[in-house]
Each structure stands twice: as C-alpha cells, then as structure tokens.
Amino acid sequence: MLKAILFDLDDTLLDWSGFAGDWKTLECQFLTGVFDYCAANGSVLPDLDAFVDEFHTRIRESWRLGRTSLIAPHIGKVMVEAVEAQGAAVGAFTAEALLGAYGWHAVPGTQLFKEVPEVMATIKKHGIKTAIVTNASQPMTLRDIEIEEHQLLQYFPDCRLSAADAGVLKPHPGIFQLALERLGVSPEEAVFVGDNPIADIAGAQGVGMQAVFRITSPMPQMLSGLIVPDAAINSLEELPPILDGWFPGWREN
C-alpha cells in the first residue's frame, strides 16, 4: 500500500532553469550580511572579499570531501570556521546566528514547475504523506524560508530533510532511512522522485524504495544500464498514473 512519496527539491519540484545569475555573486550578497553582522557584534573582519574567499575555499573543500565520503557540507559550520579564520574570536558566533545574518531567501529566476501545485494537491487529497529530501548544504530552516515563498511548504507538513541536517548526502542510505523513520513508513510503502540518477535513483533503490526518475536532462550514457529507474517521467503530471499501476486503489482514501 502506498503511504508516502518523497521528493528531491532542486530540479524536481523547483525549476532552476530561469536562474540567470552566477552562484558566486549571489552567495556574496548573502555573505555580506554575515560580514556586517560580525562587525555590528564586536568582530570587524579585515576585508569582505577575503572573508568571501575564505568561505568559498572552505565550502568547496567540504563539497570535494562530500563527494567521496558522503559527509554533508553545512554552510553554518563553514561560516563559523571562516569568520574565525578571518579573526573573530573562537566561539564568538554560533552557526545559528550567522545563518540568520545570511538572510537566505528564494533565488530570483527560480520557480515551481507549473504542474507541482495541482499534483501535490492530488497526492495530499488522498492522504499520502510527503517529504522533501534535498542534498543542500543549507539546513532545512533556511530552505523552508524559500519553499514558503514558493508556496510549497503547505504540501510538505510531514517531513523536510536537508543533507546538512542529516549529516550525510544522498545516495547515503542514512538520509533516506531518516526520512522514512520520520514519516513512519517502510521503504515498500514509499516512492522516491528525483532528477539525479546516482543521488536520487540509486540512493532510494538502495534502501528498497521504488524510484521515479524526473527527467530534466538525459541520463548520462555511462549510467544507463547501470542505474535503471523504476519509471521515468518528463512532468510530475505523469506520476499519479504510474502510482495507479503500482498501487491500485491508492486514490480510494
């Protein structure tokens, strides 16, 4: 019986194709808030560019390590390291305080894929639990601000999980198991939907879930044959009919 559907966030529910800026410039704007916050709270760091570079060097290294170890980067922890490396007293700032100063919000140019509200409303109407499981280095408290701006939060009351909070990145089984635990369902009662063959499809199948590949770009040739999704869709509108085949009667609630 179908009890829950878990979704990746970026490029599965949230369309980034309209984002025209560059990530480093965008992040610099957020980091300026952190720089100013430190100055206002007794730690004037020597130089904004040096702080931004310090942060970027450290977060890039965290992602590099994460790709092999699957230990999740956490921007709050990296910000604390960066301000301390730039001269703030050790322990002067908490990750929570710096994350607040970072001022994360929805990124201009991003939007929900147009079919998302209607499909999510259908899923919730039939009593199916839902989750977001994202490989973000931002804790979910930050991504929640963004998904509320996109009016997505209402469809995910049960579980929203960021890799930064889980401690590990997809495809590590731990992040999927934690989400299933929070939902109170077994892998056989759940379906995962995502756009990344390794993180989403191989990861979810690895813990026993059926996995639907949301095609935003074709699966790389080298992976086709090695990773075989249980289904592939071009739009989330195609998901309910697939569920009809796998879980007849799921709409009867």
Question: Interface residues with Mg ion (CB under 5 A)?
Answer: 8, 10-11, 195
* Least distance from Mg ion to the Cβ atom of residue 161, Å: 14
Nearer to Mg ion, 129 or 214 (CB): 214
Nearer to Mg ion, 165 or 195 (CB): 195
* Least distance from Mg ion to the Cβ atom of residue 223, Å: 15
Phi then psi for 147, rounded to 5 degrees? -75, -20
DSSP percent split of the chain into helix, strand, coil, nearest 5: 50, 15, 35
* Amino acid in position 13: L
* Least distance from Mg ion to the Cβ atom of residue 11, Å: 4
* Least distance from Mg ion to the Cβ atom of residue 100, Å: 26
Nearer to Mg ion, 85 or 215 (CB): 215
At residue 168's C-alpha, the angle toward residues 69 and 102, to 5°, is 110
* Least distance from Mg ion to the Cβ atom of residue 10, Å: 4
Nearer to Mg ion, 10 or 84 (CB): 10
Which of helix, strand or coil describes residue 211? strand
Nearer to Mg ion, 86 or 196 (CB): 196
* Least distance from Mg ion to the Cβ atom of residue 91, Å: 36
Nearer to Mg ion, 109 or 184 (CB): 109
Which of helix, strand or coil describes residue 58? helix
Which of helix, strand or coil describes residue 241? helix
**Centroid of chain to Cα 200:** 11
Q: Is-contact 213 233, C-beta < 8 A?
A: yes
Which of helix, strand or coil describes residue 36? helix
* Residues ≥6 apart with Cβ < 8 Å to 236: 13, 113, 115, 116, 119, 193, 214
Q: Which two tokens stand for residue 208?
A: 């026993």
